[in-house]
C-alpha cells in the first residue's frame, strides 16, 4: 500500500470523516492488508501509540465487527454502530481535589432546591449546621453553583421594582419594632424526633415570642406554653422597659399582625393598648392584613428553625437544657454577622455600636425566660366570664392567696 492512498493526516481525517470511520480504515490496513503499525503511523502522520491504541480496542471487538475488520467488504450503514467501541471515552477527570465529591455535591444541590440560597449564604448555612468546612469550602461551593448554573430565587413586584419596607438611612435604632409569634412545633420545619420532643414533653414551651428592631435587627425573645393577649401585652411591656432602662429615649412604634395574641385587629383594643403604652412614649398598630409588612420578622423565624431548633434540638432534653440553649441563642443571634439590608456583613450589636450606643453589649444580652414563670398562668382565661376584667380577676386571686398565707 502506497502513501498515495492517504489523502490527509489522521487528525484532519477525524475532523472530516469522523473518528470511527478513520479508525476503521486504520484497523483494516493492519488486519486486512497486513500493513505494520509503524508504517501506518508514518502514512497517517500520527503517533504509533495512536495506532497501537486502536489495535488494542480491536482485540476486544465483537466477533461480528472483527469479521468486517479482517476483510475489505462494504459495511452496511445499519452495522456501523458495531464499531462504537473505537470511539474514545470521555477525557473528563474522574475526580478533582478542587471539586466537591459527588455525594457532597448531590447534597448541596438538594439544599439549593429547598433553600435557594446564594453560594455565600450557603457556605454560612453549612458551617452553622455542622458540616465539614474543609470539604465544603467557598471555592468548591462556588464551583458547584457555576457548573450547575444555580441562582437565587427572587420575588419581584408586578413592575419589577425592589422596594425596601423602611428608609433605613433615616430611621433610628428601636424607632420601629416588629412583633410576632412562632409555633415551635412545626412539622414543615423540624425533624421528626425534635418535633415530637417539643410536642409531648410538657416542660418545653411550644410558642416563641419575637420582637425585632428594624434598624439593627436586634431581637428580643421569650417563650410560652400558650398564646393569649395578656402575654402579648406583658412581653412587649417588658421589652420596652428593658430599652428605657438602657437609656433608649427614641419614640417606639410597634407593628404586629391581627393575631388573637395581640389586638385581634380590633380598633377598640388597639386604642386600649396605646393608652396603656402612652406613658412609655410607644405607639402600637397592626399590619391591616398586609402580610408582606411582616417580612423582616417572618424571615427570622426561618433562621430560628435552621440555626437553633434543628442543630441544637438534640441537646434539649429538659426545661433547664432549653433555657441554657435559648439564652445562648439570643446572645449568638445578636452577635451574628448578617447580610440583611442595613447590616451588610456586620452583626446587630456592631450596628448598634456604630450608631453610638456604648451599652450595646448590655442591650443585646436580653434575658431568656418562659412567660408562665413570671406572670400567673391564664390557661383558664376562657373560663372567666366575658364581662369580668382579666387583670382584676388575677389580682383578686393573688391578694386572697397572700391573706391565706400561701
- The contacts of residue 8 (CB under 8 Å, 6+ apart) are 16
Domain check: are 334 and 233 in the same one? yes
CA-closest candidate to residue 85, choices 50, 60, 114, 52: 60
**Does residue 158 belong to any structural domain of this protein?**
no
329: domain CATH number is 3.30.420.10
- pLDDT > 60? residue 395: no
**Does residue 157 belong to any structural domain of this protein?**
no
Domain check: are 135 and 44 in the same one? no
Q: Locate 308 and state its grid cell.
A: 437553633
DSSP letters along 175-209, please?
Answer: SEEEEEEEES--TTTS-HHHHHHHHH-TTS--EEE
Average pLDDT over residues 313-339: 92
Q: Locate 259 and state its grid cell.
A: 393575631
Q: Locate 109 and state its grid cell.
A: 444541590
Q: Kindly state the percentage of the chain with pLDDT values over 70.
A: 86
Residue found under cell 399590619: 287
**Does residue 91 belong to any structural domain of this protein?**
no
Report the relative pairing of strands 219-224 and 282-286 from DSSP bridges: unpaired
Domain check: are 345 and 280 in the same one? yes
Q: Locate 57 and state its grid cell.
A: 480496542
Q: What is the pLDDT of residues 21-66, one digit of tens each?
A: 888 888 888 888 888 888 888 888 898 898 988 888 888 888 878 8
**Does residue 247 belong to any structural domain of this protein?**
yes
Q: Buried (b) or exposed (e) across 167-201, using 16+ Cβ within 10 A? A: eeeebbbbbbbbbbbbebbeeebbeeebbebbeee
- pLDDT > 50? residue 392: no
Domain check: are 341 and 194 in the same one? yes
**Does residue 108 belong to any structural domain of this protein?**
yes
Domain check: are 250 and 307 in the same one? yes
Contact between 210 and 358 under an 8 Å Cβ cutoff? The reply is no
Q: Which domain holds residue 124?
A: 102-147
Contact between 225 and 372 under an 8 Å Cβ cutoff? The reply is yes
The pLDDT value recorded for residue 246 is 94
Domain check: are 116 and 203 in the same one? no
Please state which of the ranges 21-25, 72-76, 257-261, 323-327 shows the lowest mean pLDDT: 72-76
- pLDDT > 70? residue 161: no
Give strand ranges (E) for 306-356.
Answer: none
Domain check: are 268 and 303 in the same one? yes
Q: What's the number of domains the chain is made of?
A: 4
Domain check: are 189 and 317 in the same one? yes
**Does residue 95 belong to any structural domain of this protein?**
no
Q: Where is the domain boundary, 57, 86, 115?
A: 86
Q: Locate 385 and state its grid cell.
A: 366570664
Domain check: are 348 and 381 in the same one? no
d(CA 375, CA 110): 44
Q: Where is the domain boundary, 60, 86, 112?
A: 86
Please tell me the pTM assigned to this model: 0.60
- pLDDT > 80? residue 389: no
Domain check: are 197 and 224 in the same one? yes
Which tops the pLDDT comparison, 22 or 269? 269
Domain check: are 405 and 350 in the same one? no
Domain check: are 180 and 143 in the same one? no
**Does residue 349 belong to any structural domain of this protein?**
yes
**Does residue 328 belong to any structural domain of this protein?**
yes
Amino acid at each position: 500500500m502506497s502513501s498515495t492512498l492517504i489523502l490527509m493526516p489522521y487528525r484532519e481525517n477525524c475532523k472530516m470523516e469522523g473518528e470511527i470511520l478513520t479508525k476503521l480504515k486504520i484497523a483494516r490496513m493492519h488486519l486486512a492488508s497486513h500493513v505494520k503499525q509503524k508504517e501506518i503511523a508514518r502514512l497517517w502522520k500520527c503517533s504509533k501509540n495512536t495506532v497501537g491504541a486502536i489495535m488494542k480496542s480491536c482485540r476486544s471487538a465483537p466477533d461480528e465487527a472483527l469479521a468486517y475488520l479482517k476483510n475489505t467488504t462494504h459495511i452496511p450503514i445499519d452495522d456501523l454502530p458495531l464499531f462504537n467501541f473505537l470511539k474514545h471515552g470521555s477525557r473528563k477527570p474522574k475526580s478533582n481535589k478542587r471539586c466537591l465529591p459527588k455525594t457532597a455535591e448531590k447534597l448541596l444541590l438538594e439544599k439549593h432546591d429547598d433553600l435557594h440560597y446564594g453560594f455565600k449564604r450557603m457556605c454560612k448555612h453549612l458551617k452553622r449546621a455542622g458540616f465539614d468546612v474543609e470539604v465544603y469550602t467557598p471555592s468548591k461551593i462556588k464551583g458547584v453553583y457555576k457548573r450547575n448554573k444555580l441562582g437565587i430565587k427572587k420575588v419581584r413586584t408586578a413592575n419589577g421594582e425592589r422596594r425596601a419596607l423602611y428608609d433605613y438611612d433615616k430611621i433610628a435604632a428601636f424607632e420601629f419594632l416588629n412583633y410576632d409569634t412562632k409555633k415551635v412545633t412545626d412539622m414543615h420545619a423540624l425533624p421528626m424526633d425534635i418535633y415530637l420532643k417539643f410536642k409531648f414533653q410538657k416542660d418545653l414551651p411550644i410558642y416563641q415570642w419575637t420582637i425585632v428592631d428594624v434598624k439593627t435587627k436586634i431581637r428580643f425573645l421569650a417563650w410560652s406554653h400558650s398564646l393569649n393577649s395578656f402575654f402579648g401585652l406583658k412581653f412587649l411591656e417588658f421589652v420596652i422597659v428593658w430599652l428605657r432602662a438602657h437609656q433608649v429615649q427614641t419614640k417606639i412604634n410597634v407593628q404586629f399582625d391581627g393575631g388573637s395574641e395581640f389586638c385581634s385587629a380590633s380598633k377598640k383594643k388597639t386604642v386600649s393598648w396605646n393608652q396603656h403604652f402612652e406613658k412609655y412614649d410607644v405607639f402600637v398598630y397592626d399590619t391591616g392584613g398586609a402580610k408582606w409588612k411582616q417580612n423582616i420578622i417572618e424571615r427570622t423565624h426561618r433562621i430560628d428553625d435552621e440555626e437553633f431548633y434543628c442543630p441544637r434540638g438534640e441537646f434539649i432534653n429538659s426545661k433547664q437544657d432549653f433555657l441554657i440553649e435559648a439564652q445562648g441563642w439570643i446572645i449568638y443571634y445578636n452577635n451574628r454577622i448578617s447580610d440583611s439590608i442595613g447590616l451588610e456583613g456586620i452583626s446587630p450589636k456592631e450596628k448598634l455600636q456604630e450608631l453610638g450606643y456604648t451599652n450595646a453589649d448590655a442591650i443585646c444580652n436580653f434575658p431568656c425566660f418562659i412567660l408562665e414563670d413570671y406572670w400567673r398562668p391564664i390557661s383558664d382565661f376562657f373560663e372567666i366570664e366575658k364581662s369580668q376584667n382579666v387583670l382584676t380577676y388575677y389580682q383578686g386571686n393573688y391578694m386572697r392567696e397572700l391573706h391565706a398565707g400561701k
